[in-house]
Every structure is written in C-alpha cells, then in structure tokens.
Amino acid sequence: MYGLVNRALEELIIEKYGEEKWAETRKKARVEVEAFISNEPYPDDVTYHLVGAAHDILGFRVSDLMHEFGVRWMTKTAQENFGALLRAAGASLKEFLLNLPQFHAKVQLIYPKLRPPEFKCSDVGEDSLRLHYFSYRPGLVDFVAGLLDGLGEVYGALVTVTLLEAKAKGADHDVFEVKWISRAKSP
C-alpha cells in the first residue's frame, strides 16, 4: 500500500491517542520507517502489522479500528488529497458509488503502482444499491464499511451498510447493501 495509507493511520492514532501510542505501535509492529512517503509504495504487511499492533496497544477490536480508519479516510485523508477528484466523481452519494471505477482510474494516474479494489453496483434504486467489492487484499471489509459511512458524512446522507455476502465466509466476493437518506450537502 502507498505511504499515504500508513501516514493516515499514523495521523489517526496520534490525533486520538498521542505520539507515545504511535511510537509504541510502530515498535510493536517492528516498523522502522520514521516517516512514510505518501507517493511511495510499501509492502502490505507494513500496514497489516501496524493495524495489528494498534489493536494490541490501544485495546480496540481490529474491526472497530478499521471502520474508524475508513470513516476518517473519507472525511479527512481523501478530502485533503483527492478533493477535486471526489467532487468530480459525483454530486451525490449514489453518483459517486456508480462512478467508483472511474474515480480509481483517475487516482491511478497519481499513484501508478496502485492496485485498487474493484467495485461494481447492482440492484440500483433511488436510495439504495448493492456494492460488490473485489479485492486481493484480505481483512478490509470493515475499512470499506467505514469508507461508506464516511462517504455518507461527506455527501450529507445517513447511511446504513449491511454485509450480505462475505468472501471470508466462502463467497466469491463481498457484497454490501448500502441504503441512504439524503440531506442537502455535496463535497
């Protein structure tokens, strides 16, 4: 994963729990990198080890930490780093979700070694859809649910996310049901 991901996790931990907890997390994860470079790719294991260590140090369930990280990614990290792309991807939550493949294609122009997940929408209704999530990376379902909740905040929508099918339980891929109640707001 790119350094931007690890920096965002670092910022989350420092802002909520302090520099000392981040230092403990890095030490427990055996990550010797002092400062992550946003546009440099790092092995996925670095991120996974940091999350596991943060779980141990902070005492949170990994699923809760990943969900919180997903929300923060959309409400802070993505806004700061991809704000114009987010705004161009859609004026509503529904438009954004339908345009996710094009959004990731544009992000790949900035981060050429990015291997993003694939998203497809089905059963699209006025205030709901099914989001199909395909990824070679395991263990990110709670992060994706957090991203969806964060998108709701960005677009001023009250979002309900339900995991209908899980790759971890034998399904071909993960399927989320996403429902929302829109409130007037755009990114």
| Structure tokens belonging to residue 128 | 């709901």
Residues 150 and 110 in one domain: yes
In a domain, 75, yes or no: no
Residues 53 and 115 in one domain: no
- Reported as a pLDDT band with limits 50, 70 and 90, residue 85 is confident
With a threshold of 0.85, does the pTM exceed it? yes
Residues 56 and 96 in one domain: no
**Rounded to whole angstroms, how far apart are CA atoms 41 and 176?**
28
Residues 174 and 100 in one domain: yes
Are the C-beta atoms of residues 33 and 45 closer than 8 Å to each other? no
Residues 56 and 90 in one domain: no
Q: What is the pLDDT of residue 185?
A: 57
Number of structural domains in the chain: 2
Taking each helix axis from N to C terminus, what angle separates 44-58 and 19-29, rounded to the nearest 10 degrees?
120
CATH of the domain at 134: 3.90.1520.10
Residues 88 and 177 in one domain: yes
- pLDDT of 187 strictly over 80: no
Please give the residue range of the domain that contains residue 165: 84-182
- pLDDT of 110 strictly over 60: yes
Q: What does the mean pLDDT of the chain come to?
A: 94
**Rounded to whole angstroms, how far apart are CA atoms 42 and 22?**
18
**Rounded to whole angstroms, how far apart are CA atoms 94 and 127?**
8
Q: How many CB atoms lie within 10 A of CB 77?
A: 20
In a domain, 68, yes or no: no
**Rounded to whole angstroms, how far apart are CA atoms 156 and 151?**
8
Are the C-beta atoms of residues 153 and 71 closer than 8 Å to each other? yes
**pLDDT tens, position by position, 114-171:** 888 999 999 999 999 999 999 999 999 999 999 999 999 999 999 999 999 999 999 9
Residues 96 and 9 in one domain: no
Residues 6+ apart with CB under 8 A from 105: none
Residues 55 and 99 in one domain: no
Residues 92 and 20 in one domain: no
Residues 92 and 173 in one domain: yes
